[in-house]
Structure 1
Amino acid sequence: MTQTGTVHILNGTEMYKHFKETQFLEPERMMPFNEAMCYGETCDDLFSDEFIGMRAGVHQVSPAQYAEITMQPLQPFFKENFDRIELWFDEDMFCQMNLLTILAWLDQTEFKGSIELHLVDDHFKPVRSHSLEAKGYAQLYKQVMIYKTMPTEVEPISLYKGNHLYLNYLKEDSDLMVYIHKHGDLPAKELVSLLIRNFREYGLGDTQYFEMIRVVRDSSNSA
C-alpha cells in the first residue's frame, strides 16, 4: 500500500511522547527514531539485516529486540511513499548523528520529495528550520560514521558541529575524556550526572556515559 502526504520523524520516544501529550502536530503522522548512532560501529547498508545485527550488538540486545525498538516504529516510513518528510531533532551531537543517518537513508533511496528540518531546544520547542534535499548525505554518512574523517563542508551548520564533536569525543584529549579521567575518584553515578549537566552539547545519556566511564576505568586499572 502506498500513500502520499507528510510524515514527521522525531528523535526518540521522549519527543514523541511530548508531542502526543501536548497534541503538537496533531493529526499529523509521527514516528520516533529510537537510536544512538553517535555510539558504536555501523555499516553503510542502512537498516539492513547487517545494520540491525551490528547495532543490536552495540546496544547489547538481540536483533529481534532491536527490530522491535527501532525498526518497528519506522515501518510506515520504510514501506509507504511520502512526498514530504519533516524531521525534528535537537542540535546536540546525539541528535545530529541520528539526523545524518535518516538523511543518508533518504539519499540512498533517492527520495525526491521535500524535506524540512526543524531544530528544537531542550524542551522540544522549535528554534529554526531548514529546507533540505536528499543529496550528498549518503556519502557524508560513510565519510564520517564509517571512515571517521571530517568533511570540509556540511550543511546545515548544526550537522557540521555534530560531526566535529562525534569524531573527537572519544579521543583521549577530548574535553569529555579529560573530565572523566580527572574525576576518577567519583562514583560512576555521580560522575554521570555531572557529565549530563556540564556537556549538554553532546546530548549523551546515562547509558553512553556509564559505558565510557567503564572503558576508561578498566583501561586505567589494567595499565
Structure 2
Amino acid sequence: MTASTLHIANGDNITQALKHIRINGEIITWREILCEGKTTINVGSEVFWKTRFDFFKDSYKTSKKAFIDYTLREYRNLCKQKTQDEIVLWFDSDLSSQINMIAVISWLKRFRKGRKISIVLNKNSNNDIQVNFLQSKKNDLLTYYKSRIELNKDDIEYADYIWQLYCSDSPLRLENIHTFNTTSAFTHIEKTIKTHLKRFPSFKNGLNSLENQILSLVSDSKIVDKQDLIAKITENQKIYGFNELQYIHKLDKMKKLFSSLNPVKLSKKGKMVLENQLNFYGQIRSDFSYLGGSKKYSYLYVNDTKKLLKITS
C-alpha cells in the first residue's frame, strides 16, 4: 500500500504547479514572509501569530480578517493534517523561501515528531543562476520529486537551531553556523545566511546591500517610472524572493533618496549616499524594524570583513 503524503508548498503559485501535475497527496500552502519583520521561536504559538499580525498591520495595513483568511486559515488546515507518513517540502533557493523552510522544519520537529520529512531540490539551481520551481517544466518537477532528500535527525536539529538563532536578539552567531552544515539537504543555507547578514545596514553609508543595489540600478539605468523600477529590481534580485508589495514598502522607506519616480531619478542626497559621501543611517533608522529576532539598526555590516558590528548604546 502506498504511504500517504503531505506536500507543503511555499506560496500559492507552487501549490498550483503541483496541482497541475496532479501529484499524489494533500497539498498545504505556507503563506508567510518570515524573512520580514519580527519573528519568535515557537512557530504557530499565540505569541508567534500575534507578533506576525502586528508586523503586517503596521507595515502593510493588513486587517485582522485578511490575516486570518489568508494565513491563519491555511495554517489551521496544516494542523489538521496528522495522518500522513511522509511530509514533502517544496521551497525554492531564495532567501524568503529558505527562511520559511527552516521555520516549517522547526514546527514539524515539535508537532510531527518521528515523521519522514523530505526536501525537494531543484537540481538546476546553483549559486549564480536562480531557477525556481515555477520556471520548471512538468517533467522536471516530477524528476525533482523522485530525487527528494530525506532529512535525518541531525538535519532537522540543524535547521531548527538555525531558526532559533534567526529569532534570537543577536545575529552574530549566524556568521559561522553554516560551517557546521555537513549535509547535502541544505545546499542553499550558506548563501541564505550570508544574504541575510547583508540586510543589516552598511557601515559605509547606513543602507544595506539591497538598498545600495537599488540606488546603483537607478544611477546606471534609464527607468521610466516606479513600476518599471520594481520590475527591474525583481528581475535583478531574485536571490531575495521578494514580491512587488515588499519592494513598494522598501522604496517608501527610501523616498528621500529620489528626486523623482516618473522618471526615476536620484536626489542629490541619494547620489551622495551611493558614493559613500553621506551616511543615511540616522534618517532611515527605526527601533521598530526587525530582521528575525534582531533589531535591524542595532548592527552594522562591515563590507571589508563581511562581519557584523554591534552598536552599543
Distance (whole Å) between structure 1 residues aligned to residue 195 and residue 65 of structure 2 = 31
Q: Does 1:138 align with 2:168?
A: no
Q: Which residue of 1 aligns with 2:279?
A: none
Where do 5+ consecutive residues of structure 1 fail to align? none
> SS of the counterpart of 2:32?
coil
Alpha-carbon distance, 1:122 to partner: 2.6
Q: Does 1:19 align with 2:18?
A: yes
**8 Å contact from structure 1 (residues 192, 210) kept in 2:** yes
Distance (whole Å) between structure 2 residues aligned to residue 36 and residue 160 of structure 1 = 19
Q: Which residue of 1 aligns with 2:180?
A: 153
Distance (whole Å) between structure 2 residues aligned to residue 111 and residue 63 of structure 1 = 31
> Given residue 56 of structure 2, which amino acid in structure 1 is its aligned partner?
H
**8 Å contact from structure 1 (residues 52, 67) kept in 2:** no
CA spacing shift, 1:65–1:164, aligned 2, 3 Å: same
Q: Does 1:29 align with 2:26?
A: yes
> SS of the counterpart of 2:248?
helix
Q: Which residue of 1 aligns with 2:99?
A: 97
Q: Does 1:195 align with 2:233?
A: yes
Alpha-carbon distance, 1:192 to partner: 1.2
Alpha-carbon distance, 1:131 to partner: 1.6
**8 Å contact from structure 1 (residues 10, 88) kept in 2:** yes
Q: Where in structure 2 are the equivalents of 1:1-223 lying within 5 Å?
A: 5-20=4-19, 22-26=20-24, 28-60=25-57, 61-81=62-82, 82-109=84-111, 111-120=113-122, 121-124=131-134, 125=136, 126=141, 127=144, 129-133=148-152, 134-146=156-168, 147-149=170-172, 150=174, 151=177, 152-154=179-181, 155=183, 156-172=186-202, 174-182=208-216, 183=218, 187-218=225-256, 223=283
> Given residue 117 of structure 1, which amino acid in structure 2 is its aligned partner?
I
**8 Å contact from structure 1 (residues 181, 216) kept in 2:** no
Distance (whole Å) between structure 2 residues aligned to residue 80 and residue 92 of structure 1 = 27
> Given residue 210 of structure 1, which amino acid in structure 2 is its aligned partner?
I
**8 Å contact from structure 1 (residues 53, 63) kept in 2:** no
What is the RMSD computed on CA atoms of the aligned residues? Answer: 2.6
> Given residue 195 of structure 2, which amino acid in structure 1 is its aligned partner?
L
Per-residue deviation, residues 133-154 of structure 1 (Å, max 9, x unmatched): 3323332202024332412434
Per-residue deviation, residues 17-76 of structure 1 (Å, max 9, x unmatched): 2222x23314x1001101111111111121122221221222232344323212222334
Per-residue deviation, residues 169-211 of structure 1 (Å, max 9, x unmatched): 3433644221223327954322211111111121111111111
Distance (whole Å) between structure 2 residues aligned to residue 206 and residue 11 of structure 1 = 17
> SS of the counterpart of 2:8?
strand
Paired residues in the alignment total 218
CA spacing shift, 1:41–1:23, aligned 2, 3 Å: same
Alpha-carbon distance, 1:7 to partner: 0.5
Distance (whole Å) between structure 1 residues aligned to residue 256 and residue 109 of structure 2 = 40
Where do 5+ consecutive residues of structure 2 fail to align? 123-130, 258-268, 271-281, 284-313
CA spacing shift, 1:107–1:114, aligned 2, 3 Å: same
Rg comparison, structure with higher value: 2
Distance (whole Å) between structure 1 residues aligned to residue 70 and residue 44 of structure 2 = 13
Q: Which residue of 1 aligns with 2:265?
A: none
Q: Percent identity?
A: 19
